[in-house]
Amino acid sequence: MKSKEKAKQAIFYSYTRYINGFAAVLEDEEAAEISKHPEVVSVSRNQISQLHTTNSWGFLGLERNGEIPADSMWLKARFGEDVIIGTLDTGVWPESESFNDDGMGPVPSKWKGYCDPNGGIKCNRKLIGARYFSKGYEAAETLDSSYHTARDYNGHGTHTLSTAGGRFVSGANLLGSAYGTAKGGSPNSRVASYKVCWPRCSDADVLAGYEAAIHDGVDILSVSLGSGQEEYITDGIAIGAFLATERGILVVAAAGNEGPDPGVVGNVAPWILTVACSTISRDFTSNVILGNNKQYKGVSFNSNTQPAGKSYPLINSVDAKAANVSSNQAKYCSIGSLDPLKVKGKIVYCTCNEDPDIVEKSLVVAQAGGVGVILANQFITEQILPLAHFVPTSFVSADDGLSILTYVYGTKSPVAYISGATEVGTVAAPVMADFSSPGPNFITPEILKPDITAPGVNILAAFTGASGPADVPGDRRRVHFNFKSGTSMACPHVSGIAGLLKTIHPDWSPAAIKSAIMTTATTISNVRQPIANASLLEANPLNYGAGHVWPSRAMDPGLVYDLTTKDYVHFLCSIGYNSTQLSLFIGKPYICQPHNNGLLDFNYPSITVPNLSSKATLSRTLKNVGTPSLYRVNIRAPGGISVKVEPRSLKFDKINEEKMFKVTLEAKKGFKSNDYVFGEITWSDGKHHVRSPVVVKKMAVAA
């Protein structure tokens, strides 16, 4: 730049503690000039990330029928006592009962954090830190100064923080549905909120949040946001996560909500624990009963139910359109599309399109005087999620919607009744959420992503007091708890579990905690069938990684695949970053060593060979974290691939002892598939079962 003064004016963040860099407002030419400097690793745009949204803990086995069994991981981990969990998110609603500090002891002495009082924020012995970072967002957008606070006006951050570490709160519910006791994964943890999303989240603010969290002394960082697959040394989330991992902090991040199309998984850096989203064994039904006594199952969180047995006139929204609006607008119950004279006192049939504001349709009907809504899902393959509607509403499938319309137009005076919401146990769970972002990982296909799946559909957790549960303009309702769905909700489940593991095993590295969670996961549902995708077909590791998290097994995995900062730097060498870049990146001299099999030998808890020509051999190293034992291998080979493991047994005589094994994969004669195929390798001593998914894709051969 032309002068030091101009440079000072341009810089709005200087990262000096753990990240050697700065954030500034620059012209393209200035950024290009800076990138040429020999001591600059990379220059990247201030990328914007998106946010990714209580019987889940019972579903995970930490409690049974509302009681905590003697073998619960909660008891063994003292409910995550004094572990510190931080979130990078939209802030916190500190008045929530989920953050009360009743009975908690002094704040751990290692805590160096700060509670910013702006916006009336008050911390306590539970919520021990609250800070905000907005300069990156404000470099491009205007933000009213009244929002300069860690207070959560969105609800996303409060929900994720309480899911990871909220206290036990009895009587939690949403508008009368799902009464129970809310709690987080590590209820006795200390929690800290780093507000970096407004609600969009800029890399500059995210990195500032990371720096603060590392300095303050968090043990686990939960990051329910992301921006897709980015190069590691230009991705703010990946850079911050690397520096946190280097200092012993496990970073857990959401896989993203861009599914079901393949290859859209985000947060793919190997030092991040990437979480996909799946269902729990609970749903909420709200049925439609027509005048001909036919009944159709729908879903909703209806609180204001219609009088039992009383039916109301039923009209298709197209026939209730207001003057000067199109039939298409009325079909989707868009704002201002309905005529109150035609709607008053009636149940309105509306069709759902790609508009994400589904709840808004019930608000449109309510404002026009309607008494109920039947929402029909236009997209046959999509899962239907219950939402907090403004009038009694039932969300039905595409096929059932067509049947209801047939009744409407085949009956002189069609009527209907919408039942209240009923909580039911689903037949099979988990099922992968259709929006959960699947692999493969296109940045480094040799690293399977996502890593794990966890509950993230219909999750009840604490909410902000600043906005309504429907998140639409005009929603003046206020609730203490809200249901949300997304990989954002799955992520803090794993963060809470990681907090428990950190309490039980305070000396474990982030990679060891990650390995324990992955190698003990299950791929079988509660009805002893393989986990299914949203279409109820068998899912695979590209959907769920190693499988569904199983907390009680994770606390005693037997063996782990461990990794150090040096291993991660070597990994970066293997994918093409040079010694100069990496020396600047890690802040000390580093020379990349040549390695013929670098990526395949990376000691990851899963095994992926994305371009198998004919034969490949790779190695892994296991560390004993249990009692002395003899482990034998069991192989389930992917279709069309032969798998050989040497040696077939590993004997461990002491804690932290390490043993290496080799895996040879070879395409069988005549195997021509160019699709991914899946298998697994499991090491077992009879008590522990250390399982790694094996994912192989044969190299395409030109015709």
Q: Cβ(503)–Cβ(75) under 8 Å?
A: no
Q: What share of the chain is helix, strand, coil (3-state, %, to 5)?
A: 25, 25, 50
- The structure tokens 């009082």 sit at 117
488 catalytic per annotation: yes
Range 149-175 average pLDDT: 95
Instruction: Classify residue 197 by its DSSP letter.
Output: B
pLDDT bucket at 383, cuts 50 / 70 / 90: low
Q: How far is CA 650 from CA 252, 559, 623, 630, in A?
A: 31, 11, 11, 6
Report CA torsion sign: 202, 207, 210, 212. Answer: negative
Is the pLDDT confidence value at 267 over 90?
A: yes
Give yes or no: residues 460 and 418 share one domain: no
* Nearest alpha carbon to residue 644 among 633, 658, 629, 655: 633
- Which residues, including other chains, have CB under 8 Å from residue 110's CB and lie 6 or more apart? 217
**Beta partners for residue 678, in sequence order:** 695
Handedness of CA 23, 25, 27, 30 (dihedral sign): negative
Residue 538 amino acid letter:
E
Specify if 582 maps to a domain. Answer: no
Candidates 549, 428, 424, 551; CA nearest to 490 is: 549
Torsion over CA of 428, 429, 433 and 438, rounded to 10 degrees? -110
Consecutive H or E run containing 689: strand 689-698
- Tell whether 56 and 18 lie within a shared domain: no
Structure confidence at residue 1 (pLDDT): 57
Could you tell me which of 222, 238, 220 has the C-alpha nearest to residue 230? 238
Listed residue (9, 273, 53) closest to 163, CA to CA = 53
Task: Find the mean pLDDT for residues 351-371.
Answer: 87
Average of per-residue pLDDT across 314-335: 95
At 53, the pLDDT band (50, 70, 90 cuts) reads very low
Answer whether residue 583 is part of any domain: no
Per-residue pLDDT tens for 88-143?
999 999 999 999 999 999 999 999 999 999 999 999 999 999 999 999 999 888 88
Residue 40 belongs to a domain:
no
Residue 473 CA, chain-centre distance (Å), reads 26
Determine how many CB atoms are found less than 10 A away from the CB of residue 474: 13
Q: What does the pLDDT look like over 444-475, one tens digit per residue?
A: 999 999 999 999 998 999 999 999 988 787 88
Tell which wins on pLDDT, 405 or 49: 405
399 a catalytic residue: no
pLDDT confidence bin for 582, thresholds 50/70/90: confident
Q: Which residue among 156, 505, 548, 570 is the active-site one?
A: 156
Residue of 636, 177, 213 whose CA lies nearest to 422? 177
Which of 541, 557, 573 is a domain's end point? 557
In this prediction, residue 31 has a pLDDT band, given cuts at 50, 70 and 90, of low
Question: Which CATH number belongs to the domain containing residue 348 in this structure?
Answer: 3.50.30.30
Tens digit of each residue's pLDDT (9 = 90 or more) over 471-491: 787 888 899 999 999 999 999
CB 275 within 8 A of CB 494: yes
How much of the chain, in percent, has pLDDT values that exceed 90? 71
The residues facing 131 across adjacent strands are: 194
Residue 586 forms part of a structural domain: no
Strand partners, 177: 174
Per the residue annotation, which of 82, 89, 216, 283 is the catalytic one? 89
Q: Counting beta carbons within 10 angstroms of the beta carbon of residue 602, is it exposed (0 to 12), middle (13 to 18) or buried (19 or more)?
A: buried
pLDDT of residue 327: 94
Tokens linked to 98: 């989920």
The CA-based diameter of the chain, rounded to the nearest angstrom, is 82
In a shared domain, residues 305 and 322: yes
CATH number for the domain harbouring residue 611: 2.60.40.2310
Closest C-alpha among 503, 490, 502 to residue 451: 490
In a domain, 535, yes or no: yes
Q: What is the mean pLDDT of residues 12-31?
A: 63
Tell which of 392, 408, 424 closes a domain: 424
Name the residue among 641, 600, 634 with its Cα closest to residue 620: 600
- As a dihedral over the C-alpha atoms of residue 354, residue 356, residue 360, residue 361, rounded to 10 degrees, the angle is 20
With CA atoms as reference, report the closest residue to 218 among 196, 249, 239, 189. Answer: 249
Q: Are residues 446 and 475 in the same domain?
A: yes
Residue 589: CB atoms within 10 Å = 9
Q: Is 89 tagged catalytic?
A: yes
| pLDDT for position 55 | 74
CB 472 within 8 A of CB 164: no
- Tell me, yes or no, whether 222 and 307 share the same domain: no
| Residue 119 covered by a domain | yes
Report how far residue 662's alpha carbon sits from residue 257's, in angstroms, rounded to the nearest whole number.
36
Task: Looking at the structure, tell me whether residues 17 and 70 fall in a common domain.
Answer: no
Name the DSSP class of 434.
T
Q: In angstroms, rounded to a whole number, what is the distance separating the alpha carbons of residues 97 and 695? A: 44
Q: Would the pLDDT of 660 be above 80?
A: yes
Q: Is the per-residue pLDDT at 702 higher than 60?
A: no
pLDDT digits (tens, 9 = 90+) for 613-638: 889 999 999 999 999 999 999 999 99
Where a domain ends, among 424, 441, 457?
424
- Check whether residue 483 and residue 409 sit in a common domain: no
Same domain assignment for residues 462 and 403 = no
Specify the pTM: 0.89
Question: Which pLDDT score, from 0 to 100, does residue 585 have?
Answer: 80
Which range (58-67, 316-325, 575-584, 587-596) has the least confidence? 587-596
Q: Are residues 522 and 439 in the same domain?
A: yes
Does residue 562 sit within a domain?
no
Q: Are 391 and 434 members of one domain?
A: no
Average pLDDT, rounded, for the chain: 90
Per the structure block, which two tokens stand in for 135?
């300069």
Domain of residue 619, residue span:
606-703
Q: Which of 162, 286, 488, 574 is catalytic?
A: 488
pLDDT at 52: 44
> 241-255, 282-296, 383-397: which has the minimum mean pLDDT?
383-397
| Residue 469 burial by Cβ neighbours in a 10 Å radius (0-12, 13-18, 19+) | buried
Residue 199 lies in a domain: yes
Q: What is the rounded CA–CA span in Å between residue 371 and residue 686?
A: 60
Burial 312-321 (b: 16+ CB within 10 A, else e): bbbbbbbebb
**Are 293 and 252 part of one and the same domain?**
no
Tell me, what CATH number does 229's domain have? 3.40.50.200
Identify the band that residue 597 occupies on the pLDDT scale cut at 50, 70 and 90: low
Measured distance between the N- and C-terminal CA atoms of the chain, rounded to whole angstroms: 54
Shared domain check, 393 and 257: no
The domain total for the chain is 4
Strands 250-254 and 283-285: unpaired
